Structure 1
Amino acid sequence: MTTALEEKNIALDIEALDTLFNKKDYEKAAQFWSESYVQLRQHVRPDATGCSASCVR
């Protein structure tokens, strides 16, 4: 059973990933990532543009 907050977070995640991967609207997708976002993959830059750049490859 999920709570209302969990459902809201899931919807936000889906919107962010849909915007980034399916719509490829990188400028809009950047609003979903914090300036202090920590990228754990060493080959990807540690910011939202690094994340979107890795998707373009």
Structure 2
Amino acid sequence: MPFSDIHLQLHTIRATELRTRAAMYRPQNQLLRLRLGWLLVELGLRLVQHPARSPRIRAV
């Protein structure tokens, strides 16, 4: 089917364009990305160590 071939080619061209544009916005500094990741891990561990206070609702 000629329509399917053209449709597939258009999608391929568009996907290539989008990948090229996305590459421009990738973080170039991997060290910053690594530090941010460990910061989030540390924050998560702190939240687990200090659970929220118990609710103030008392049974009657």
- Shorter-chain TM range is 0.3 to 0.5
TM-score normalized with structure 1 length: 0.36
Q: Which has the higher contact order (CA 8 A, sep 6+)?
A: 1
TM-score normalized with structure 2 length: 0.34
Structure with the largest fraction of helix? 2
